[in-house]
Structures are given as C-alpha cells and as structure tokens.
Amino acid sequence: MVFRAKAPLRVSFCGGGTDVSPYPEEKGGCVLSSTIDHYAWASVIPRDAREIVITSLDFGVTRTYPLGSLAFDGELDLAKGVLNHFRELRGELPSGVEVLTHSDAPPGSGLGSSSTMVATLVGGLAAWLRVPLTHYEIAEMTFKIERCDVRLSGGRQDQYAAAFGGFNYIEFFADHAIVNPLRIPRDSVNELEYHLLLVFTGGTRTSARIVDTQMERYRSGVASAVSGLDELKRLTIELKNLLLQNRLDDFGRMLHEAWETKKLLADAITNATIDRLYAEARKLGALGGKILGAGGGGHLLLYCPIERKPAIAEGMERLGGRIVRFAFEGRGLQTWRVR
C-alpha cells in the first residue's frame, strides 16, 4: 500500500509578518490569503527493511538511515522532523518506510512551499499510521515541527493555508489561531483570478534571514518596523472587506499601499530586480501588487486592468520575469491510498 498526499501552495495578499512571534503574542496578527493550483506532493511507502529512505525529487537526493531517531544536519531536515515527530508520537514506527517528496514550486519561491511540504508529509504519515487529525491539529503540528524541532524561523500562516485551503482570513494570538473561511461568490473569484498576474522574478531566497531581521527590528522598537506591522494589520482587515464587497479595483490599489508598507520592515524585502519589475508593471498600468512571502525574490503578484494585462505580461517577460499560470484552489490537504 502506498499513501499519498498533496496540499496547495498559497498566495498571501497581506499580513505576512504579523504572524511571526512576538507580534501575535503581543498585539494579535492577521493574514489574508488563498491557495492556488500548485501543490506539494508526498508518497509514504511502508518497507519490510528496518530503514528509512527519504527522497527529494526536487533536489535529486536520496538518503537511507537506520530506523530510529534522525539527526538534523542541514540535509532533508524537514522530512526528518516529520518522521521524528510521528516516531515520538507513536513510541516507534511500526516498520521501515520510504518517503518521496516533490513540489510544483522551489523552496524560496514565496508560495509557502516549505511549510506546505511539511503539512503534506504530516498528512501522509498520519494516513499510514491511522492518526486522526483535524485541520487545526495538522497546522499546529506542522508549525511545531518547522519552528520548534527543526528551528527554522518564520510565521504560521502557511501551515494553516495548506491544511484548510481556499480563501481565508486567519487571526493569530498568543496560544491559538482562528481560521475564518471567506464565502466569496464564484463570479468574484473568477474576476479576481482574471485580473491577477503571477510573475516569477528569476530568483529564490532564504526567508528565515529576512524574517529574523524584520522581527529583530520590531523587538528593538525600530519605529518603521513597529508602525509597519501595525499598518499591515489594518490593511489586511481593509483588504478582506474589499474582497467580500467585490470592490476588486480598490482591492488592487490597496495591494500597492500594502507593498509600500511591507518594504518598511527590512531592507532585504526588496531588491533591484523586484523594484525594476514592479516599477515597469506600474508604468504599464498595474494598479498594485506585492512580492509574495518574506520578500527578496520569488514571485511577484500584480493586479492588472484587463485591457492592460497582456502589455504588462509582455513587459515582465522583456525584463526577465516569467509568467506563471495559476487558478485558485478551494481544497486543502488531501490524502489517498494506492494499492
């Protein structure tokens, strides 16, 4: 029996940073996001041999380990973290196992691929070991593995997006999160999708360093970082309301305001390539947009008037960007079995 799982990647419209400690503990954070039809995939294959085999199809790496606790050494640590967590949960794994992972987007793409991969592995291991988990438990387990066990810096929005799927307004507090699914009419979803352009900037980045910098600035009381996070929280609520009211052009314009605010958090959030692409998009008619994820590279999301969208896409490609086709995905983590 093979146990498979997939979970959707996400685009975050606003609020990233307010989900990173200590901001949610002190002030409460919130994020507005939606999942898209790009996925992280995992296969869990029980084996008779008393060993663990982990394969990352993205990196072309396969490693074999003795059955037992796996040491973190900078290679395949997220997969090791998931296996260690379930080993501790169960006392021991019932047999050897082979794990294969693959993502439709590379790490550092700004689409939440690392957290989504962990959520996918959690789903696959839980299916194999028959561990019943709610969406909230999957998200929290994923967060604990990433942030506490493997000790990767970052927030907690991606874990919830992957587990729940769809359009969500997610609130973060000291000891819990609340996922508010948004009931957006299909016509509005289609119209928003038609207006948006997703552009790969040509480079990925390590989000942990950017997150560490912006939160250190917040903890140190740097005025631009503190006021920037507060303003992002306010704008997230405004963007949620505009989306629910189907005021999509106003939504697009406010994305620009949110992007200008996000850049106050840390210098590394943007760079010359991102600035050049975004300035050209605005020159060609884009109402607004933002870099996805922590910044510094990955994907640029643009809101375009329909009549200007082809020209904006052409301009992005002329400057080295790559247009990425996508559609919104309403489902979260899914698991199934193959005999």
What is the token pair recorded at 325?
A: 């086709």
Contact in structure between 38 and 65 (CB atoms under 8 Å): no
Residue 45: in which H helix or E strand, if any? strand 29-47
Q: Exposed e or buried b for every residue in 259-269, given b needs 16+ CB within 10 A?
A: bebbbbbbebb
Within 10 A of 47 (CB to CB), how many other CB atoms are there? Answer: 13
Sequence-distant (6+) residues with CB within 8 A of 155 are 16, 17, 19, 20, 29, 31, 172, 211
Contact in structure between 179 and 168 (CB atoms under 8 Å): yes
Distance CA 175, CA 144 (A): 13
Measured in whole angstroms, how far is the alpha carbon of residue 117 from the centre of its chain?
10
Sequence-distant (6+) residues with CB within 8 A of 255 are 13, 14, 239, 287, 288, 289, 290, 301, 303
Distance CA 10, CA 110 (A): 9
Distances (CA, A) of 232 to 29, 171, 274, 288: 9, 13, 20, 15
Residue 212 catalytic?
no
Catalytic, out of 19, 77, 104, 158: 158
Phi, psi of 234 (to 5 degrees): -65, -45
Contact in structure between 168 and 136 (CB atoms under 8 Å): no
Q: What is the sign of the dihedral through the CA atoms of 169, 192, 17 and 331?
A: positive
**E strand intervals along 67-166:** 96-103
Question: By C-alpha distance, which of 147, 4, 140, 137 is closest to 81?
Answer: 147
- Give catalytic residue positions: 158
